[in-house]
Amino acid sequence: MSAKPQHYDVIRKPIITEKTTMAGESGAVVFEVSIDATKPQVKEAVEALFGVKVKAVNTTITKGKV
């Protein structure tokens, strides 16, 4: 699977905090994604951009950020 321009529209940027660093120790990564992205779109984008197999996608909507 190759990276397409729309994959960069889904994955905006990584989130680097103390909590996400702790999650990284268990193999999880945290990204800010487009508000209208679906879980299958997020999975496809991560697999295409980073060449990994995604087990699960968990999402949350955080209020207060645009």
* Ranges of each domain in the chain: 1-66
Question: How far is 25 from 60, CA to CA, in rounded Å?
Answer: 20
pLDDT digits (tens, 9 = 90+) for 17-49: 999 999 999 999 999 999 999 999 999 999 999
Question: How far is 16 from 65, CA to CA, in rounded Å?
Answer: 16
What kind of fold does domain 1-66 have according to CATH?
A: Alpha-Beta Plaits (3.30.70)
Are the beta carbons of 56 and 14 closer than 8 angstroms? no
Give residue 66's pLDDT: 58
Q: Whole-number mean pLDDT of the chain?
A: 91
Query: What band does 62 get if pLDDT is binned at 50, 70 and 90?
Result: confident
pTM of the model: 0.85
**Of the candidates 5, 20, 1, which has an alpha carbon nearest to the alpha carbon of residue 60?**
20
